[in-house]
Structures are given as structure tokens and as C-alpha cells.
Chain A
Amino acid sequence: MKAYFTDLFTGAWSLIVGLKVTFKALISPVVTVQYPRVKNEVTPNYRGHIDLVKDAETGSHRCITCGSCMRECPSGCIVVDGEKREGVKGKALTVFTLDFTKCSLCGACVEVCPTQALDYSQEYELAGSAREDFHYDLLKRVEERE
């Protein structure tokens, strides 16, 4: 008999506590945004697909075409190629493509790069209609970036 009334009162009290919790949520500000029109800032820690870094001093990429990333990549999704040019020390980069359909985002290429020429991008809107849409030309991307 005692348990019956204890149940009743603790139950009723917990119901009131529950109502209080949801009412606080009701009057607290909205945390979602209307996505395509309003966008949240991406956290700097976000690891998108890799991108070539634009050097602030030279205004160009830092890649020396050593090919470490290409060899390190466990999925074999990076292709790097270069050519010897007159007046340029070492090799000049001509091709740097990423096949993002195979990339597992392990980051080994970023780790291994001797000149810190690679970094993670902030891209997250990655819808495409064909698999070729995910074959990125990173050299073109870095040249187009302002």
C-alpha cells in the first residue's frame, strides 16, 4: 500500500520535471539553420578531401613533384607528374589529380609531404551525378583559388 502511493507521487513528480525540461527547450533559441540559404561555419578540424596549399609568399603551390604522396597512398588515388623546365630548379608540376571515389581520407599523403604542400579542404557539399565528378584536378583548383 505504501509502494502504491510512493509510485503515484514520484511518478507525478517526474512528469512535472519532464514538462519543465521540454518547456525550457521550447523557449530556448533554435539551433538549426535553413540549410541551403543559411550555412553554419565549418570547424577548422574538418577533414575533407586533400587540396594543394597556396603559399602566401610565392602565390603558388609548394609541390616539388617528389611523388611521395602518390607512393604512400594506400588506395592509389593520387597521380602526380612533372616535367623539367628551363630555369626552374627541380621538376615543375604538370599533373596532380585525386580520384576521390577511392580515397579513404586516411591523410597519409598530408603526413608524408616534405614541403607541407597538402592540406585538408573544407568541402562538404559533394553531390555528383557521375563518378567523373569526383576526379579532382587539384592543380587546377589551386590555380583558380584566389
Chain B
Amino acid sequence: METLNSLTPELWRLLLAIIGIVVVVFGNALVMGYLERKLAGHFQCRTGPMEVGFHGILQLIVDGVKLMGKQLVVPAQADKKLFMLAPMLSFAPVFLPLLVIPFSDKLQGFDLDVGLLFILAIASINVLAILVGGWGSNNKYSLFGAFRSVAQNVAYEIPMLIALLAVVFMTNTFSLRGIVEAQNVWFVFLQPVAFLIYLVAMVAETNRAPFDLPEAESELTAGFHTEYSGMGFSLFMIAEYTNMFIVCSIATVFFLGGTSGIPLPYFEYTGALWFFAKVYLLMFFLVWIRWTYPRTRFDQLMNLCWKYLIPFSLINLLITVVVVKL
């Protein structure tokens, strides 16, 4: 009780924020896992999960229990320490970026001046986790998946950063709340090229189809997580869904006006409804393109990045800088 009383209001707020973030991470993984399978079904004129609960709504909970009950198999001759470390390395950092995302005017862990840099720095740890997992598995498919993931993520971080930089030049701040507040007009209308480039780079950064080369089922079994079973696999999956949530949140903050929308009562809190609506619309788009496009070949992937995205993002940045200066 002594320690509880000694907590300052600011610490209480942070504690609540962290609890909220844990809820968002697991809730998002459940919702997206269900939505993805349901949408995948309907994109193919099937029904998707139907058996557990009303229209299969409890399917993901049952799956979670199953995954928890499964044995963690470590392959013989795998690097056991790295093998066990990788899922945690992938899963643990995904909580941090959510701390600085402004869900609404008042619902934000804390507003960092360098919020964007913070998110991008933390998000890039995932590449390391994939590399460690692929290397530690002692499996050729895992290793190939990891190699591809590193090449792809390093390449696509460049256009992503440059596209976001154009917005930063317009708002003069790295703080996510500052960027939301600076948007009288949604930046998607002022920076359409940057938005498109970010959209492509965001799909590649989250390793999702059509850029899912690190886990290409038809070539690499399951890529870097071939050898993972039970919770090792599900930690990777939760991390992937949370990374989707994070990149969609950045897109919402930078291009879709964050919480802005039709005013509701108690808008400093209920603005989060608009925020989540926009994020999940983008998530729906991610699922949509996953079930539309075939996987790119590796050279096509690199061509798209180096020949199209990077030149266009640089030109876009140049024009933005000139216009802002004028």
C-alpha cells in the first residue's frame, strides 16, 4: 500500500496506459486473426470459420488455447539460445511504439518530441528478431527467409522514411501529436505521392503479401518461422499483427488526420473511435491486397523499391521542400 500511495498521478497514468496497450496488442491480434480468416474466406466465396461460437467468433480463442498447449520443439543442432530468444525479441518491442501513438487527444502514453524516430527505431528490431530466428533454427528455409527479410526491410525503410520526411518538413515536428494538430487538411490530399509510397513500403515492412517473401509458403514452407511451434509461432504472429497495427497507425497519424472526424461528445476521448476506424480501414486494405495479388519475385521486389519508390520519394521530397520554403 505504501508504494501504491507514493505513485504520482503521472505514474498512475503511465501504468494505465501500459495496461491499455497490452489490451490493444492482444485484442488487435484476436480481432485481426479472426477478420483475416473471415475476409480470406469471403474473398474466395467461402464462409471462413463458422464452427466455434456464432459465425466462428470464438475460433481465435480456441486456437490460442491449442497453441499454448503445444510442445515447443527445438530442432536438433539448432542454436537453442537464439532459437528461444527470437520470438521474444520479435514480440517484446511491439508494445513500445504504441506508447507514443495518439489514439485521441487525451489517450496517449506520452508525447515524445522524436515520436516518429522512436517508432521507426523500435520497429526495426523486428528485422533482427527474424534474422536471429532464421539463423538459430538451423534450417535452410528459415535462413533463406531471414536473408530475404533483411534485404527487403533495409531496402523498403528508405522510401518509407523519405515519404514520411516530406510530411515532417511540412509540419516541422517529429511529435505525432504535433503532426495530427498540424493537419487542417488531411495530408493525403496534400501529399498523395508520399501516401502511395508509404502504403507500398508499409506492406513490404510488415512482410505481408504480395511482399511476403520471408515466409513464402510455396517456396520456403513458412520461411523464418518454419521450425517454431506453439507459443513461439504465436508470438511471431502477434508481433506481425501488432506491426500491421503500428504501420497503419502511422499512416493514420501522418496522412488521414489522426483522430479528426465528425465531432462526438467527449471528443478528447471518443476521437479514438475515428482513429480506430481509420486504422482498421487500412488493415482491411492490407487483407484485401493480400488476397488479390500474387507474390512478387525477389528481383521485382528490389526493382520496385530502387527504380520506382526511391526516385519518386526523393522527387516528392524535393518539391515539398521547395514549396515549403516558398
Residues of A within 8 A of B (CB): 4, 8, 15, 18-19, 21-23, 25-26, 28-32, 34
Q: How far apart sit A2 and B47, CA to CA, in the bound complex (Å)?
A: 45
Residues of B in contact (CB 8 Å), total 16
Pair A22/B288 contact, Cβ less than 8 Å: yes
Q: A18-B292, A32-B45 are in contact. List 6 more A-B contacts (CB 8 A).
A: A18-B293, A25-B42, A26-B42, A26-B43, A26-B288, A31-B46
B12 within 8 A of A: no
By a CB distance below 8 angstroms, the chain B residues around A26 are: 39, 42-43, 288
- Knowing A8-B308, A34-B50 touch, does A22 contact B45 (C-beta < 8 A)? no
Pair B45/A29 contact, Cβ less than 8 Å: yes
One of B39, B41, B46, B288 near A19 (C-beta < 8 A): B288
By a CB distance below 8 angstroms, the chain A residues around B308 are: 8
Closest 9 CB pairs of A and B: A22-B292, A31-B45, A18-B292, A32-B46, A30-B47, A26-B43, A26-B42, A22-B43, A25-B43
B41 nearest CB neighbor, chain A only:
A30
Pair A23/B293 contact, Cβ less than 8 Å: no
- Knowing A18-B293, A34-B50 touch, does A28 contact B288 (C-beta < 8 A)? no
One of B39, B47, B288, B292 near A32 (C-beta < 8 A): B47
By a CB distance below 8 angstroms, the chain A residues around B307 are: 4
Q: How far apart sit A3 and B237, CA to CA, in the bound complex (Å)?
A: 40
- Knowing A8-B308, A26-B39, A26-B42 touch, does A21 contact B47 (C-beta < 8 A)? no
A4, A22, A23: residue with the most chain B Cβ atoms closer than 10 Å: A22
Pair A22/B47 contact, Cβ less than 8 Å: no
B289 within 8 A of A: yes
- Residue-by-residue, is B280-300 near A (CB-CB < 8 Å gives 1, otherwise 0)? 000000001101110000000
B44 within 8 A of A: yes
By a CB distance below 8 angstroms, the chain A residues around B46 are: 30-32
Q: How far apart sit A23 and B291, CA to CA, in the bound complex (Å)?
A: 10
By a CB distance below 8 angstroms, the chain B residues around A25 are: 42-45
A17 nearest CB neighbor, chain B only:
B292
By a CB distance below 8 angstroms, the chain A residues around B39 are: 26
Q: How far apart sit A29 and B44, CA to CA, in the bound complex (Å)?
A: 10
Pair B293/A15 contact, Cβ less than 8 Å: yes
Q: How far apart sit A26 and B45, CA to CA, in the bound complex (Å)?
A: 7
Q: How far apart sit A8 and B303, CA to CA, in the bound complex (Å)?
A: 12
